[in-house]
Amino acid sequence: MDFLRPNTWADALAAKAGQPAAVPIAGGTDVMVELNFDHRRPPALLDLGGVAELADWSTVDGRVRIGAGMPYTRIITELGDTLPGLAMASRTVGSPQIRNRGTVGGNLGTASPAGDTHPALLAGDAVVEVASVRGTRMIPVAEFYLGVKRNALATDELVAAVHLAPADGPQQFAKVGTRNAMVIAVCAFGLSLFPSTGRVGAAIGSAAPTPRHATDAEEFIIGELADRWEQRKSLPDNVTRRFGELVATAAAPIDDVRGTAAYRTHALAVLARRTLAWAWQDYREGSWPACA
């Protein structure tokens, strides 16, 4: 197996163009598992660890640009105030060791329906910056997931970064697992409130072939909140409950070793109802970002 270790982004793109079958490796927390279990035997590994610009974040046109190789630990410590939903999701990934190595770029590369960052990225309207020697494409994250572990990357493309606007209002992320840590999600839910535009982002994970928006629930709650934002009126239980039911209708889950489809559907409704109530309470009290 060839081992390619570029030191610049230009060299990384050239290497991927030259050997499209080369498998990129960032933190290696998915790739090494696949190699160790012999699920994959690529002709080459393309180690992105030497490309310094992938490992940092910056602000571009008022949005946060997170380099594909920036580990979760730094997202949590450096961006917890700015992107609370993504930071909450990052906190639930694996263990400290996995969070020190694992990256959003790797989560997107794997594109598992159970990847924890996806509901937060969808709810926050993230855009994925991908690049090749042919140029750069900006892909809305909802268009990035094509199927189970399939994404929109062409064979010569790499993920350069993810772009997200700083939180405009409270954000939430919640995940159900069979234990509290080191667990793949049975289901997960991300929520972003956008008080300045009256929008709400709601997205589910581990409950359909791809992570996806709960669009009916989004439309419903946008309508319900329309005359509540200004005076920060309370949200009745029947509204949060209906929101939960509509989030559950977005799911197309399966039965597997982690949980049944019926349990996933039920749990999503509960997660959505609870997180909406928490986020709205934070908004009413002006106490967001919630996880600062």
Ligand X SMILES: Cc1cc2nc3c(=O)[nH]c(=O)nc-3n(C[C@H](O)[C@H](O)[C@H](O)COP(=O)(O)OP(=O)(O)OC[C@H]3O[C@@H](n4cnc5c(N)ncnc54)[C@H](O)[C@@H]3O)c2cc1C
Question: CA dihedral defined by 99, 103, 104, 108, rounded to 10 degrees?
Answer: -120
Query: Could you tell me the smallest distance in angstroms from the CB atom of residue 239 to ligand X?
Result: 31
The binder of ligand X chosen from 65, 74, 91, 101 (CB under 6 A)? 101
State the DSSP H helix or E strand holding residue 91, giving kind and residue range, or none if neither: helix 84-91
Tell me the window of 86-94, 219-227, 243-251, 267-275 that interacts with ligand X (CB under 6 A): 86-94
Question: Cα-flanking dihedrals φ and ψ of residue 252, to 5°?
Answer: -135, 65
Closest CA to 70 of 51, 89, 83: 51
The binder of ligand X chosen from 68, 174, 187, 203 (CB under 6 A)? 68
State the DSSP H helix or E strand holding residue 239, giving kind and residue range, or none if neither: helix 237-249
Neighbour tally for 279: CB within 10 Å: 22
The binder of ligand X chosen from 13, 15, 26, 267 (CB under 6 A)? 26
How far is residue 60's CA from residue 283's CA, in Å, rounded to a whole number? 27
Closest CA to 105 of 21, 59, 48, 45: 48
The binder of ligand X chosen from 106, 201, 211, 259 (CB under 6 A)? 106
Site string for ligand X, 226-255 (x = CB under 6 A): ------------------------------
The binder of ligand X chosen from 15, 88, 123, 159 (CB under 6 A)? 159
Query: Could you tell me the smallest distance in angstroms from the CB atom of residue 101 to ligand X?
Result: 5
Binding-site size for ligand X (CB under 6 A) equals 30
Closest CA to 176 of 251, 90, 116: 116
Of 140 and 223, the one with the shorter C-beta distance to ligand X is: 140
Interface positions, 35-64, toward ligand X (CB under 6 A): 48
Of 28 and 80, the one with the shorter C-beta distance to ligand X is: 28
Of 59 and 155, the one with the shorter C-beta distance to ligand X is: 155
Q: How far is CA 49 from the centre of its chain?
A: 21
Of 92 and 275, the one with the shorter C-beta distance to ligand X is: 92
Burial of 106 (0-12, 13-18, 19+ CB in 10 A): buried
The binder of ligand X chosen from 29, 73, 192, 240 (CB under 6 A)? 29
Closest CA to 131 of 112, 113, 145, 152: 152
Residue 204 binds to ligand X (criterion: CB under 6 A) = no
Query: Could you tell me the smallest distance in angstroms from the CB atom of residue 176 to ligand X?
Result: 12
Site string for ligand X, 108-127 (x = CB under 6 A): -xx----xx-----------
Query: Could you tell me the smallest distance in angstroms from the CB atom of residue 107 to ligand X?
Result: 4
Of 163 and 273, the one with the shorter C-beta distance to ligand X is: 163
* Count of positions (residues) in the chain: 292
Enumerate binding residues for ligand X (CB under 6 A). 23-31, 33, 48, 68, 92-94, 98, 101-103, 105-107, 109-110, 115-116, 153, 158-159, 182
